Structure 1
Amino acid sequence: MTEVQSGLPLVSVLISSYNHANFIEASIRSVYAQDYPCIELLVVDDGSRDDSVAVIQRLQEELGFNFLVQENKGLCTTLNEMIARSSGRYIAPLGSDDVMLPERLSLQVAFMEQHPETGICAGGILLIDGEGQPLSDRKQRHRPARRLDFDDLFMDRQPGPPAPTLLFRRSALEEVGGFDPSIRIEDYYVELRIAHAGYFIDILEQPLALYRVHGNNTYKNRRLMIDTELAIYKRFEDHPGYEATRLRYLNAMFAKVASEDKALAGELLAQIPWRSRNLKTLKGLWRYCFKRIA
């Protein structure tokens, strides 16, 4: 249904697919299961080497969405090109291994329409495994609704928005120039830039998506994540909280990797001055010295 027919703003859902043949059908079908009627879906296969293209072509024949196949360009470049081809007032990137819950877009659009100061609306997530089964309750994260400004996000004063639930106001995304292809982990940096431009990030309490935890999640590449996060902080080094934010992150990551990657842990520890070490550093030192890598 179009925006003119429904009287509702159009949402462009963008799926950049890469080697998720086992998961992509659930992602695509979750878009069509939305109770919000005004959606366009664009799917690009970004150079998958598995059976993703065949799966998506079969679904395209059934459902009729916009689909392109290309050589690998990377997520940020692909998303920017999809945004340029899309028409929605709101933009919803969706990982090709994640799943939207049915009320997601109706809740987010209603909120965004009432809050023009909001550049990004997100929500809660439920964790599932590679087979689509819920993880145990103790691994789930239930957090209250919250509003974040730039300092909240940059200085980690409140938990940030879960990536599988991001809904962008197109005008805010275009104001900051879209996604930056030089940053490998795209979501955090664009969130900071939109907040830095003066918009709020609002996170609803309701779970809006299923986040799939499996062996190829990007966050499991510790060195990539850490190097990228530090590079993002560096982009805002004129902020008065820059050094405190950088050192807080180094301490936290040292404690996290101390028993799983001794070489990386040693590099992180060398960047933390003695005066800036804290309880997390001590915990990390114990793991670094006495806990063996599994």
Structure 2
Amino acid sequence: MNESEWRQTYGVSGSEKLPLVTIIAINWNYGAYLLTALRSAVAQDYPALEIIVLDNGSDDDSPVLIKTFVEEHPQVRFIELSRNLGQLGAAHHIVTQHRISGDFVSFLDTDDFLFPHFISHHVRAHMLVNNRVGVSTGDTLQVDRHGTIVAGNMPHWWKASNANRPGWADVQIPTQHDTPRPLAMTLIPPSQRRWCWYPGTSIVYRRRNIERLMSAIRDPIEVKFALDTSAAPFCHAEGGSIMLNEPLSGYRVHGRNSSVTAPQLQYFDSGRVSFETGNKRQERWFRKNIRKKQTA
């Protein structure tokens, strides 16, 4: 699909060049799921993509799988590390040590996967809202190790009918088709401080905000620190968030997930009861880094 066809399909008028989106796949020992994730990245119907895959010092067959995949898809750039920096550490390495060109950045966990229209729906929302929002997030289907759907969406506090959501705006944004179609989304103000995003892979960030974040933190970064725990609140504070309430990706539950959310199935054990303590430790570390940056 070229840019003109994309605009016609998704109802976004204009003649300016579409924003480039960088998909960064960060992998560590996910050889069992890796190719599904990478194939979902190259299968995106959005025409302006940069794709980077980083291997975090895996000791399974991941490096071989990635090298073979890159040979078949030479548009994909491969960065191989000799040791595991963790998810946040790897993201910090890519942003500070390598060149990324996208106006927006999507971090793909290689145990998850994207639906073909994932990037298109996020970019369309940003272009139609046009208010420099820092983050967009979309719902996700939960799947098991084998890819079988085990839950239709992610449970979150704000989905409760009595949830207190001051400043949130449920809006209908018209597309720019000949016959406009209303797109339902939620605009969340920067004043919202409670966690309100779907996990990891489901989030797209403005690159400028990610670069500010990564320039504000310093090594050492604990291997267990998750990217979205720091990135989503930081980027949200600089423009708010767009919430797309339709599933746009698959979130695989297999026992090594860092998200606090577990499937809504009594018989299904995610292997993680809660990461609340770890998140608080990361928050303290991050605030300390930010203070050092501001006083330097």
TM exceeds 0.5? yes
Stretches of 4+ moved more than 4 A in 1?
Answer: 139-144, 178-181, 220-223, 232-237
| Equivalent position to 2:105, from 62, 84, 91 | 91
Residue 110 (structure 1) aligned with residue 124 (structure 2): yes
Provide, for residues 246-284 of structure 1, a one-character-per-residue CA deviation record: whole Å limited to 9, x for no partner: xxxxxxxxxxxxxxxxxxxxxxxxxxxxxxxxxxxxxxx
Equivalence map 1:1-294=2 (5 Å): 7-64=17-74, 65-71=76-82, 72-83=84-95, 84-114=98-128, 115-137=130-152, 141=155, 145-152=185-192, 154-156=193-195, 159-177=196-214, 180=217, 182=221, 184-196=225-237, 198-219=238-259, 220-221=271-272, 225-232=275-282, 234=284
Amino acid at match of 1:133: T
SS in 1 for 2:146: coil
Could you tell me which runs of 5 or more consecutive residues in structure 1 were left unpaired when the two chains were aligned: 238-294
2 CA distance for matches of 1:116 and 1:81? Answer: 29
CA RMSD of superposed structures (Å): 2.8
TM-score (normalizing by structure 2):
0.69
* Distance apart, 1:90 and its partner CA: 0.8
After superposition, the C-alpha distances for 1:184-220 in whole angstroms (9 at most, x for unaligned) are 1221222222233x31111111211000010221245
- The alignment of Structure 1 onto Structure 2 pairs a total of residues equal to 229
Deviations 1:142-165 (A, max 9, x none): 96842223442x235xx4233221
Q: Distance in 2 between matches of 1:128 and 1:215?
A: 12
SS in 2 for 1:218: coil
| Higher normalized strand content (fraction of residues) | 2
Deviation per CA, 1:30-86: give whole Å up to 9, x if none: 011111011111111111111111111111111111112212222223212323421
Percent of aligned pairs sharing the same letter: 25
| CA shift for structure 1 position 117 | 2.5
Larger gyration radius, structure 1 or structure 2: 1
Between structures 1 and 2, the one with greater helix share: 1
Q: Contact 1:80 / 1:179 at 8 angstroms: preserved in 2?
A: no
| DSSP 3-state at the match of 1:171 | helix
Larger RCO (CA under 8 A, 6+ residues apart):
2
Q: Which runs of 5+ in 2 are unaligned?
A: 4-15, 160-183, 260-270, 289-296
